[in-house]
Amino acid sequence: MMIEINYLFFQAVLGTTFLSTVLYLVFFVSQNSRVRKVARLVLVVSGVLQSLYILSRFFLAGYTPITSQHEAVVFFAWAATWAYLSFRWRYTVKNFGTFVSVLIMLLLTAAAFASRDIMPLKPIHQSLWLPWHAGLSLFAYAFFSLAFCGGLMYLLQDRELKSRKFGYFFQRLPSLDALDQLNSHCLATGFVFLTLGMVTGSLWTRQAWGTYWQWHPKEIWSMITWFVYLLQIHQRFTAGWRGKRAAIMAIVGFAIVLFTLWGVMYPLGGVQTYGQ
């Protein structure tokens, strides 16, 4: 019975997220404020259903569901959903929800194609540090995904302004300054979560092997990701990396995040590689 409920929750998540994405796209074209309000409300419902899906899977598995590719990507989408909603609660960035909803839908679609089997935890994964490490890292990735969306929007708007034709996107995208501030906020927040994820990962390694570093590919690529974002923050606040350069780096950084997630941490169709 619980398995069927869990399955229905995921189908409901896919349905509501798809509807929210369609509504956001309709709003992007029509600029009807009523459509935007409904789209946001449906996205909130999707976020609640994602929470219930993760919770029901927790009761099914008996551990924090964040060890397989399916679970990690669902958690990633859930974190991105609530990161955006919390951001939207404090700030207004024109049509930001359209880009974010498309990304969330893509993540959940990818999760739908991954195996949903619940596997018993290996001894190395039976640690309280695992959910903290993986959860914090995925929250970091969620904020980096928002910076990625903002970077795409920045490049589109910058292209419109430089062409001096003020075409389709010009009226529908926020100012370059607003997008640059969005990039700064999401980058800084994500970096804090990523740093905490690195620290808890080291503590997990210390608990398991008696050392803080194992030179595992996961550790190496996590460190590369951390240094890439450290470079962005350092250059932003010391060398004035803003605007187009910051937008491009947000996109490059997110590409590395996706490679780390799918290529190293959770290989396609697999589970957490650490300790294998």
**pLDDT at residue 255, rounded to an integer:** 94
Q: 186-221, pLDDT tens digit by residue?
A: 999 999 999 999 999 888 777 767 676 676 777 788
Which sequence spans correspond to the domains of the chain? 2-265
How many Å is the Cα radius of gyration of the chain? 19
What type of residue is 49? L
What type of residue is 238? T
Phi-psi region of 31 (alpha: psi -120 to 50; beta: other; left: phi over 0): left
Asked whether the predicted pLDDT for residue 267 surpasses 70, the reply is no
By CB neighbour count within 10 A (0-12 exposed, 13-18 middle, 19+ buried), where does 38 fall? middle
Q: What is the pTM of this model?
A: 0.89
Confidence bin at 54 (pLDDT 50/70/90): very high
Helices (H), 164-242: 176-209, 217-238
Q: 162-175, pLDDT tens digit by residue?
A: 777 766 777 788 88
